[in-house]
Amino acid sequence: MNTPDLFAAPEGGVEAIADGAVLLRGFVLDAATALLAEIERVAEAASFRHMVTPGGYEMSAAMTNCGTAGWTTDRSGYRYERLDLKTGNAWPPLPEAFMDLAGRAAADAGYAGCTPDACLINRYAPGAKLSLHQDRDEADFTAPIVSVSLGLPATFLFGGPRRADRPQRIVLQHGDVVVWGGPARLFYHGVAPLKDGVHPATGRIRYNLTLRKAL
């Protein structure tokens, strides 16, 4: 007998969550320690901060960026900025390990030749959340977004093209990657308030990396 199919994809392989969006369970488990070290290095140069929405609300997730441009919000709007307005410096470069995983994940999901130029890093403490939104500040919607979850699990809310579409609830675990593009690229999504807990790799924290083609 040949090897049973059960063993073909030890981490569960590729799960379609919508036309254009794919969940790769455990895709970065091997690289998680290295990725966390890179997050720490980025944060030494560009520290996590709670940005303010155009409406004046402080976001509950803390954020920083690396790459050519960084996603930014303040009273004047949502946008990408080449400089970290907190330091006046360029954002730290995209680590090789981020580029590598984005290329491999996108290829597995059917988006070949994906070259991100920006990575938003979100840090969630217990209770932090992200309201339903679209990612539409990027110049080019033909490129997918690669999203990496590290640390505590979170419930990802994955809706549809209209804000009122009832979202699916998908629990994202340490090491999971979602690749998101094509017909789903502008779908509404968010993150439910983080449940308290302790993860061996991060303690009481969840990190999320979203690699994008911003410019």
**95 close to 38: Cβ distance less than 8 angstroms:** yes
Apex CA 84: angle with CA 78 and CA 89, to 5°? 155
In angstroms, the CA 5 to CA 8 distance is: 5
Segment holding 151, helix H or strand E: strand 145-151
Q: Taking CB under 6 A as the rule, does residue 65 contact ligand MD6?
A: no
In angstroms, the CA 116 to CA 99 distance is: 7
Residue nearest Fe ion by beta-carbon distance: 135
Q: Which is nearer to ligand MD6, 46 or 130 (CB)?
A: 130
145 binds, among ligand MD6, Fe ion, none (CB under 5 to 8 A by kind): ligand MD6
155 binds, among ligand MD6, Fe ion, none (CB under 5 to 8 A by kind): none
Q: What is the C-alpha radius of gyration for the chain, rounded to an integer number of angstroms?
A: 17
Q: Which is nearer to Fe ion, 38 or 135 (CB)?
A: 135
Q: Which is nearer to Fe ion, 135 or 138 (CB)?
A: 135
Tell me which residue has tokens 């970290």: 84
- Binding residue (CB under 6 A) for ligand MD6 from 65, 73, 147, 202: 147
- Site track 182-201 with ligand MD6 (rule: CB under 6 A), x = hit: -------x-x----------
- Binding residue (CB under 6 A) for ligand MD6 from 109, 145, 157, 177: 145
Compute the half-sphere exposure of residue 123: CA atoms within 13 Å on the CB side of its CA: 18
In angstroms, the CA 90 to CA 130 distance is: 26
Tell me which residue has tokens 């690699």: 211
Q: Which is nearer to ligand MD6, 80 or 156 (CB)?
A: 156
CB of 166 to ligand MD6, least distance (A): 18
The residue ranges that bind ligand MD6 (CB under 6 A) are: 122, 130, 135, 145, 147, 156, 178, 180, 189, 191, 208, 210
